[in-house]
Amino acid sequence: MARPGLDRPVRLPPHAPGLTIGLFGGSFDPPHAAHRAVSLLAMKRLGLDRVWWLVTPGNPLKDTAGLPPLDARMAAARRLARHPRIDVTGFEAAIGTRYSYDTIAWLVRRCPGVRFVWIIGADNLGSFHRWQRWRAIARLVPIAVVDRGGSRAPTAAPAAVALARWRLPEAQASRLPRTAPPAWVFLHGLKSPLSSTALRRRATQEAAA
């Protein structure tokens, strides 16, 4: 079976062997302050050189009807990011990947020597076991789980239970990018509870008022 997009010429954000890069995926519909806050928190606590916002064509676990065009979401994300070490990219559309595992596996093959870290919110840890090949994702790259404004780590979630033995103490978060996977850490400190879903709901309610 052909590997998605392996031979296609694709322009990636700045990278080089030895760099530590956080991967923060989502539809960014719309991008909001918490996306930026998560990125800055992860950059500081994990010692990341850069964070890439992977603006996806669409989330397989969500209804994408009415999803704005990729270019429009990327433009909005760039306006919000405003940071020299946050890169906004939509390369998943170019390489034809639909699932996070395929995207991460493609990057690991294409960028040898780069230390990637997968960044997700605590809400996504609760549903991580529903992601395609989630165990394989955990074997590919370390994972940083960031709280969403004071939430507790969902330690009873199936994925959290399955990966419990590989969880690093939060005080050792800076070790994560250089720890061989599986490895993950839960980061507290984010004060913004914003979510794209809530913002879309509010916009719909305001439009109907």
For residue range 33-42, what is the model confidence (pLDDT) as tens digits? 999 999 999 9
Q: What pLDDT digit, counting tens, does each position of 116-146 carry?
A: 999 999 888 989 999 999 999 999 999 999 9
Which amino acid is residue 207, in one-letter code?
A
Structural domain includes residue 10: no
In a domain, 4, yes or no: no
Residue for token pair 């090949």: 133
- In whole numbers, what is the pLDDT of the chain averaged over residues? 86
Q: How many CB atoms are located within 10 Å of the residue 46 CB?
A: 23
The CATH number of residue 52's host domain is 3.40.50.620
Residue 148: exposure state from Cβ atoms within 10 A (0-12, 13-18, ≥19): middle
pLDDT at 118: 98
User: Is it the case that residue 183 has pLDDT exceeding 60?
Assistant: yes
Would 188 be classed as within a structural domain?
A: yes
Instruction: Return the pLDDT at 155.
Output: 76
Number of domains, the chain: 1
Residue 106, domain member (yes or no) = yes
- pLDDT tens, 105-114? 999 999 999 9
The band of 203, judged by pLDDT with boundaries at 50, 70 and 90, is very low
Boundaries of domain holding 78: 20-208
Tokens representing 155 are 């330690």
Q: What is the pTM of this model?
A: 0.85
Judge whether 140 and 108 are in contact, CB under 8 Å.
yes
Classify residue 52: in a domain, yes or no.
Answer: yes
> CA 105 to CA 100: how far, in whole Å?
8
Whether residue 50 is contained in a domain is answered as: yes
